């Protein structure tokens, strides 16, 4: 997958900007701090997921003093060009494909498949479980429509069950109806999360040694409320819900379920949050992100777009070179960096851009 053209209108510090990018090429966005490098990456990410990775407020993305912003892109996917557009005003998103309105967010999300690695990702291992669920869910949502539908159905049921628990007189039979339906959904969610984590770790185990000096074994543990080894998972879940019912009633809130799942990443059996160095965490993250890209490629027949925001500054020279060498040749990549990166490090098509105060200058090295 490749972004061929990208246009911003009143997005962040860009007034009216137009970029052309090449297929399967590394695009290095250079420039001093606070010039608009990450804003470009953010715009691409926004097209992919209709949300930013830096803010939850759409208003922050609108150029100061303006009322709305537009992002447009021509995206090549399996040889065909998609014309996509998002217009945001009054905190409402309008989506277009070939200038026709797209009604459902879910049919737009994932049309651009982008994988991001940014400095904030470093907190993934120490963050609350919700961050790790989001990490896994984001990918599953892009990969599987059935997962997306099941997860949002589950979330709706959870809300309704919690409302039922808050009533002065709790209707236990209604509660039971919700529980049964939630168990149906969770059977699907648990098995998909479990399978996905297994697949991802298989990739990560081969990738991690390239970034690490040590020989540590990389593993992940899926933690959910029920033992997934049970033959009759549904029956086991029912037993868990029966056991927790009193606590649910006491706290007026559903105490167990996949909304509390966690994914624990370990090196030599020790959770990363406990003992890993910054360097080890970074290596694990790189392996995780490239592993995700590999899975997307195997499932969908093309690599996602890779966005590496400020990743280079944290790596030593040998890791920077190693990373560049490991990036698949048929992957379009965007790298932001405040420090210049020598052209000689790349043995593949690469383009350099200088970003200055919301303006882009192309091809410094030509």
Ligand X SMILES: Nc1ncnc2c1ncn2[C@@H]1O[C@H](COP(=O)(O)OP(=O)(O)O)[C@@H](O)[C@H]1O
Q: Which residues contact Mg ion (rule: CB under 5 A)? A: 37-38
**Rounded-to-integer distance, Cα 323 and Cα 290, Å:** 10
Distance in angstroms (rounded) separating the CA atoms of residues 305 and 195: 24
**Binding status of residue 35 toward ligand X by CB under 6 A:** yes
CB of 25 closer than 8 Å to CB of 38? no
- C-beta closer to ligand X: residue 31 or 257: 31
The one of Mg ion, ligand X, none whose footprint includes residue 162, by CB under 5 to 8 A per kind, is none
- Which of 36, 257, 291, 304 lies at the binding interface for ligand X (CB under 6 A)? 36
Question: Residues near 187 by Cβ (< 8 Å), separated by ≥ 6?
Answer: 233, 234, 237
Among 9, 13, 144, 315, binds ligand X (CB under 6 A): 13
The partner in contact with residue 161, picked from Mg ion, ligand X, none with C-beta cut-offs of 5 to 8 angstroms by kind, is none
Residue 135: both structure tokens together: 């990490």
Query: Toward ligand X, which CB reaches closer, 34 or 270?
Result: 34
* DSSP sequence for 347-365: SS-EEEEEEETTEEEE-TT
Name the segment binding ligand X (CB under 6 A); options: 34-42, 111-119, 139-147, 189-197. 34-42
Does residue number 282 form part of the binding site for ligand X (CB under 6 A)? Answer: no
Which stretch, 55-63, 177-185, 245-253, 258-266, contacts ligand X (CB under 6 A)? Answer: 55-63
- Closest approach, Cβ 358 to ligand X, in A, equals 7
| Burial label, 303 (beta-carbon count in 10 A; 0-12, 13-18, 19+) | buried
DSSP state of 328: -
Residue 113 binds which entry of ligand X, Mg ion, none, CB below 5-8 Å type-dependent:
none
* Binding site partner of 193, from Mg ion, ligand X, none, Cβ cut-off 5-8 A by kind: none
Pair 81, 74: CB distance under 8 Å: yes
215 binds ligand X (CB under 6 A): no
Q: From 328, 335, 295, 298, select the one nearest 314 (Cα to Cα).
A: 335
37 binds ligand X (CB under 6 A): yes
Which residues make up the interface to ligand X (CB under 6 A)? 12-13, 31, 33-39, 60, 62-64, 336, 355
């Amino acid at each position: 997958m490749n972004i061929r053209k990208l246009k911003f209108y009143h997005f962040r510090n860009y007034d009216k900007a137009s970029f052309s990018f090449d297929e399967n090429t590394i695009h290095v966005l250079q420039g001093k701090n606070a010039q608009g490098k990450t804003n470009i990456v953010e715009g691409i990410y926004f097209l992919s997921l209709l949300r930013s990775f830096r803010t939850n407020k759409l208003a922050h993305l609108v150029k100061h003093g303006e009322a709305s912003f537009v992002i447009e892109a021509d995206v090549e996917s399996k040889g065909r060009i998609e014309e996509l557009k998002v217009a945001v005003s009054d905190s409402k998103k309008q989506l277009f494909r070939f200038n026709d309105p797209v009604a459902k967010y879910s049919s737009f999300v994932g049309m651009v498949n982008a994988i991001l690695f940014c400095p904030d990702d470093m907190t993934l291992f120490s963050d609350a479980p919700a961050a790790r669920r989001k990490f896994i869910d984001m990918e599953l949502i892009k990969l599987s429509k059935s997962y997306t539908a099941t997860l949002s159905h589950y979330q709706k049921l959870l809300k309704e069950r919690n409302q039922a628990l808050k009533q002065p007189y709790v209707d236990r039979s209604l509660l039971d109806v919700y529980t049964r339906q939630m168990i149906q959904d969770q059977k699907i969610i648990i098995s998909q999360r479990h399978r996905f984590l297994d697949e991802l770790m298989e990739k990560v185990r081969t990738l991690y040694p390239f970034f690490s000096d040590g020989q540590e074994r990389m593993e992940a543990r899926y933690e959910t409320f029920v033992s997934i080894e049970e033959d009759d998972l549904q029956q086991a879940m029912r037993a868990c819900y029966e056991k927790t019912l009193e606590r649910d009633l006491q706290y007026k809130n559903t105490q167990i379920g996949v909304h509390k799942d966690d994914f624990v990443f370990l090196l030599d059996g020790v959770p990363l949050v406990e003992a890993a160095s910054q360097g080890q965490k970074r290596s694990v993250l790189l392996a995780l992100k490239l592993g995700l890209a590999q899975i997307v490629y195997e499932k969908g027949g093309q690599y996602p777009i890779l966005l590496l925001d400020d990743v280079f500054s944290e790596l030593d020279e040998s890791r920077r070179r190693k990373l560049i060498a490991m990036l698949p040749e048929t992957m379009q990549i965007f790298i932001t960096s405040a420090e210049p990166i020598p052209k000689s490090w790349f043995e593949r098509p690469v383009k350099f851009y200088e970003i200055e105060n919301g303006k882009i200058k192309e091809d410094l090295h030509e």
